[in-house]
Amino acid sequence: MKFDYAVLSEAYTEWIDYPTYDLGHDFSKEEYELRLARARELMVQEELDALVVTSSTIGQWFTSFLEPHEWHDQCQARSAWFILTPTDDYLYMTPTACGEHFNTTRRSTWVTHIRAIVERAHWPRHEIWDIAQMPWVFAELGLERGRLGFELGDCMTMGISFNDFMRLKQLMPHAQLVDESPVIRRLMQIPTPEEVSRVRKACQAGVWIHEQVPHILRPGMTEKEFRRKLEKAFAAQFGEGYSYLSDSAWDIRNPEGGDSSFFHYVATDRKFRKGDTICRGWSGAIYRGYIGDVDRVWCIGEPPEIVKKWYRVNWECVRAMEEMIKPGNTFSDIYAACARGEKKHGLPERPVGRVGHGVRNTSGLSVHPDNHTVLEPGMLFSCEPMFGNEWGFFDLEDQFLVTETGYEALHKRAPEQIPVIKA
């Protein structure tokens, strides 16, 4: 049986623009147009006839954090393709069995053309859509002989299987399927002004909730009780657009108590006690999809000298890294500043790992000894040296924006002395 994709693709198009309740958008139409314009400039530089995005991590930057919610890497039975050409923008997606997702996506994105991924496939293929329809799609767009960029390179993950990609190459012998990662990494390296604003608000909210910890936490309180109180405090302080996740990235160490709880997600019934060194590896604060990745450390009761020492080493390394942030320096230069601080305190050289990162891992902005990417105005990333031992997980993280002359901290920096919680 041969499928007529042209006919099947029209099965539910009537539902795309059916009038229903407005859902709002993640960002403005102007913001969407700015993102497209930036992408198209880079497409020209890379000589691409189309940018083809199949993963949710990148696709939702163009569409929405919420829609479509069935990219292949999120729901392996279905698929979504964002295709950007020099003149148009398209979203090909599965409408589901009744076409309702067409309508939801139309109300949540600014994409000009929403079209169907047909949910028919020939057995023994288990997925309910088939890559065989994509040559027809590209031909419909006049791209059957085009130079098409896919998520093939560093920091990229395609939202289709390797076998499907190789099959697509066979089905489109006259097209060039090439690496688009230079375009995507560049887009992710320089956030738009709206994105910077959202990260700033998320980080500032994150600092605020961190500052409530000494006022809320008391010895004898369980992790579950503590996290519920944090959630209540955040909800009372912040309104629309903000959310807070109290779970994940908590670390509690108390070698004298014998019941340390290393980096974990699940809230337990463990009771906080005097001598606990507590770290949180992010703030839990989110503003309109952007996280406030700010890390802090506390101690219950007067910290022993060794805890004070490690906190101070952590703090000094962040400050040393911060001073290296300026256009023209590299991420390896920032890493080297951290390494010098560690050496000053007699620490062994780090064999592996990074000590900071960009807003998105697709940007390639890791603070790493082998990353020689040059800093430019508009880049946004963190300085995050980490040290772990039996006395604590010492992880201070601050976020910085590269400016024309140096840098700007997006929020209040980590305090110089470890915050103490009353015992």
Helical pair 223-237 and 193-216, crossing angle rounded to 10 deg:
130
**Which phi and psi angles does 385 have, rounded to 5°?**
-75, 145
Strands (E), 193-307: 242-244, 250-253, 261-264, 277-280, 285-287, 290-291, 296-300
Residue 116 structure tokens: 């169907």
Other CB atoms closer than 10 Å to residue 275's CB: what's the count?
20
Residue 7 structure tokens: 């006919």
Q: Are 267 and 246 in contact (CB under 8 A)?
A: yes
Question: What does the alpha-carbon distance between residue 71 and residue 199 come to, in Å, rounded to a whole number?
Answer: 25
DSSP alpha helices (H): ranges in 217-348? Answer: 223-237, 305-322, 331-344
- pTM, 2 dp: 0.96
Q: Which tens digits make up the pLDDT trace of 244-278?
A: 999 999 999 999 999 999 999 999 999 999 999 99
AA letter at 77: A
- Sequence-ordered list of residues with C-beta below 8 angstroms from that of 239, at least 6 positions apart, any chain: none
pLDDT value, residue 353: 94
Q: Are 411 and 207 in contact (CB under 8 A)?
A: yes
- Sequence-ordered list of residues with C-beta below 8 angstroms from that of 33, at least 6 positions apart, any chain: 110
CA Rg value for the chain:
24
pLDDT value, residue 167: 98
pLDDT value, residue 2: 85
Q: Which ranges of the chain have pLDDT less than 50?
A: none
- C-alpha distances in angstroms, 344 versus 250, 331, 338, 339, 349? 29, 20, 10, 9, 11
What are 150's strand-pairing partners?
Answer: 179
What are 291's strand-pairing partners?
Answer: 286
CATH number of the domain at 193-421, out of 3.10.150.10, 3.90.230.10, 3.20.20.70, 3.10.100.10?
3.90.230.10
Other CB atoms closer than 10 Å to residue 69's CB: what's the count?
18
- Domains of the chain: which residue ranges? 5-189, 193-421
3-class state of residue 378 by DSSP: coil
Residue 82 structure tokens: 């964002």
pLDDT value, residue 1: 74
Q: Look at residues 342, 279, 318, 343 and name the one whose alpha carbon lies nearest to residue 407.
A: 318
Q: Which tens digits make up the pLDDT trace of 76-118?
A: 999 999 999 999 999 999 998 889 999 999 999 999 999 999 9
Question: What does the alpha-carbon distance between residue 318 and residue 347 come to, in Å, rounded to a whole number?
Answer: 15
CATH number of the domain at 5-189, out of 3.20.20.450, 3.30.930.10, 3.10.20.30, 3.40.350.10?
3.40.350.10
3-class state of residue 116 by DSSP: strand
